[in-house]
Structure 1
């Protein structure tokens, strides 16, 4: 019990330090932009993370969802094992799982998904069908893969040869919650569904991408928790079949997806919630190994993010979490370009949605994307309103130059000016900024 409380305390401290001691995570800035434009859906995901950021802020969303998920894991494990001691073990194991720490420190769609997935699984276990339907609906509003929990439940029902009547109400309530997202997609040519299907199952994969998937699970799931999740799914107690399926279905589904395309290591994150519940009932040696290796990964990466001793050719962890706040300088372009007037800068453009969102977060400016940006939510929003004579900035990381179709709309271009994003005397980002002066009047249409 004391060790569990120590792990929970250390984990809470690490999450708080990561949340407050790093720059805004680049994807989180994108979701913060969504929060400024409330809707029932967005190009990449359903709306829950945006709603929570609008209500709670970036840090509040991550920290509260993270703490809530730990509490929900405790409740689920208590009922599954019939033991408060096992509940504390499960909560402690999840608290130091790397994927749980990430979701509890930086606000992403995983943050609410993991919370509502756990609450839904808990309600399904207890056959509280109304609460299960509401939690499943909220999970679907968080991230599309929440549907995999329904597949896990159907697998358990098929094995038991029993589909409780109340489960139909659960499905109906969850679907009702999700209907507005479907309608939003229908009004936008099904862009959200199409993107996720292409992103998750399209492209070219093979053994190389599947190997990357396995490596990602050993890192984010944990070098011991990942294999034990598979062991639990195959050899766990018969009466815990629903929880076992909640662990294995996401791992199998995204393993299949990884064989078809290059995915993201966090995609099967929800699998490790059930895995921690399962490991809480295993031998103490396995519990200690899971806790020790998970905590070691969390502390090693966390220490590196604050005191980087090792140097890598491309330090992705540092690049994602530091060196963005210097973009505040763009709010005062006269410091970069003598003669520039911040009041005349109508918008700031960037070549990708991540950088455009970081600029918006740190400057409060109107931002948009331009070539070679991939299609994103920015393409669904109206173009910035720029009056003739007004200026814009273009900022890229190490390039590219402003696209020709944008440059041709202005009378002159100055730059680039270099803006360095440093951390601990390391150059992580090199931003190049151009000043596009004086939007040309739009010529009248020819008669």
Structure 2
């Protein structure tokens, strides 16, 4: 009887990938616990307190997951799940575990994936279910593909671009399997409740996304911003390689090539029409990482090194900022300084003579600020002019009784609007709350106390 063979040791390439995955996981955890609630995430946390089939800005998946898992676990679980799904997709594409480890390691340090894996946003579940859907489509597991694509549609509207990528691949192959019809039917069935919610709310979700994505001041300037955003969130090497892979990638990987290029082309075109957000085509880099995992090792090392340097530099700046500028530091502004809003939970410390039990609501000039106040201070919050239309405008207005009082909070904006002050008998002087991080002033919140709601103003909204 021959002795058992010793267990295979990982190759140097796999060891490097495991190291990269470990560094990425450590950085994600450090960012999650070392920052305040992300400025948009608080808004989605508010959604989770009012569960529905849709919201003004996006479908409901992010809110559902936050309600079940909480803010941090939603991002971390979705982020880890996406890395695992990329590993499985690449293994089946190449028939190689080593290639799977390369693709997973590359994805783990893509800046767009890092952001979605640290702070809970609709991108967090979208990237997970997009990858699962792409994997199932590749394997022609039509039922699983329909479910994953349906869950992706429940996460964010651009998930429909995965269906477009599949149809382009089917057209090129001149083959549309019967099972694919079931995939589309199941995905649409999952999405029907979102359509019905929009129908009951004058199609606000669909109309907002169309307006936000295609109507505005666009042109070469906004297209240039789009390109700069992709170099930052996609990666300075991965973004151009994604385009090269889409054009010159292996013939048999046409589905993956379309999954990489369709989001980039779609949102590139949208950027010419209006100013967009750099994260919108984030799903494109899933297939791009799988494609790069099959390229020459030099390109893989270039992608890994450039992405790692970028996420480590930004991550270190977020946790230990060394560079300061006179202009607002957007990265730090989004991630720190919000927790000072806890002081609004005890407003009597800010305004002597105030009875905290008589504060019926806190109004804010922005929906993100209203949500941060709700998260850190609790209580009922709402928005008023000049806040843009948001989900707050679809929820019922706070109920106020004669004699009750409210607070108005803004950051760098004007005092309470007349539509609000006219409802009260008097108003205090402003009080400042400074949101600092490591000795740097990031936020200056201004708070007013509006006293004595007039009896005739107890109904209606500001």
Q: Secondary structure at the match of 1:26?
A: coil
How many Å separate the matches in 2 of 1:435 and 1:204?
38
Corresponding residue for 1:64?
77
CA shift for structure 1 position 229: 0.3
Alignment correspondent of 2:355: 341
What secondary structure does 1:200 align onto?
Answer: helix
1:308 lines up with 2:321 in the alignment: yes
Closer, same or farther: CA 213–78 of 1 in aligned 2, 3 Å: same
Task: Give the one of 185, 206, 209 matched to 2:219.
Answer: 206
Corresponding residue for residue 399 of structure 1:
413
Match of 1:297 among 299, 303, 310: 310
Alignment root-mean-square deviation, CA: 1.0
- 1: CA distance, partners of 2:32 / 2:159: 25
Aligned pair partner of 1:357 in 371, 378, 382? 371
> TM-score if structure 2 supplies the norm length?
0.95
Contact 2:400-2:458 within 8 A present in 1 as well: no
User: 1:12 aligns to what SS in structure 2?
Assistant: helix
1:438 and 2:440 are equivalent in the alignment: no
CA distance in 1, matches of 2:387, 2:409: 13
Once structures 1 and 2 are overlaid, which stretch shifts more, 389-398 or 135-144?
A: 389-398
1:239 to 252, 266, 272: 252
Task: Establish whether residue 288 from structure 1 lines up as the match of residue 271 from structure 2.
Answer: no
Aligned to 2:403: 389
TM-score, reference length from structure 1: 0.99
Q: Deviations over 1:225-248 (max 9, x none)?
A: 000000100000000000000000
Deviation for aligned residue 1:199? 0.3
Deviation, 1:399, is 2.4
Q: Which position in structure 1 is the counterpart of 2:146?
A: 133
Report the 3-state secondary structure (helix = DSSP H, G, I; strand = E; otherwise coil) of the residue aligned with 1:442. helix
Q: 1:311 deviation in Å? A: 1.4
Q: Does 1:145 align with 2:158?
A: yes
Mapped partners of 1:276, 1:440: distance in 2: 61
The match for 1:83 among 96, 100, 106 is: 96
| Number of positions where the alignment pairs a residue of Structure 1 with one of Structure 2 | 445
- Aligned residue for 2:8? none
The structure 1 segments of at least 4 consecutive aligned residues displaced by more than 6 Å after TM superposition are none
1:363-396 Cα shifts (integer Å, max 9, x gaps): 1110000000110000000000111111100010
Structure 1: state its 5+ residue gaps: none
Looking at structure 2, the residues matched to 303 and 164 of structure 1 have their Cα atoms a distance apart, in angstroms, of: 49
Shift in Å, 1:52: 0.1
> For 1:121 and 1:341, how far apart are their aligned partners in 2?
56
CA–CA distance in structure 1, aligned partners of residues 458 and 420 of structure 2 = 19
Q: Specify which of 421, 424, 433 is matched with residue 419 of structure 1.
A: 433
How far 1:31 sits from its partner (Å)?
0.2
TM-superposed deviation, 1:444: 11
Aligned residues of 2:402 and 2:458 also touching (Cα < 8 A) = no
Match of 2:267 among 254, 259, 266: 254
Q: Distance in 1 between matches of 2:307 and 2:456?
A: 59
Residues 61-103 of structure 1, C-alpha deviations (whole Å, 9 max, x = no match): 0000000000000000000111100000000000011111100
| Matches of 1:425 and 1:342, distance apart in 2 | 30
Inter-partner Cα distance in structure 2 for 1:341 and 1:427: 30
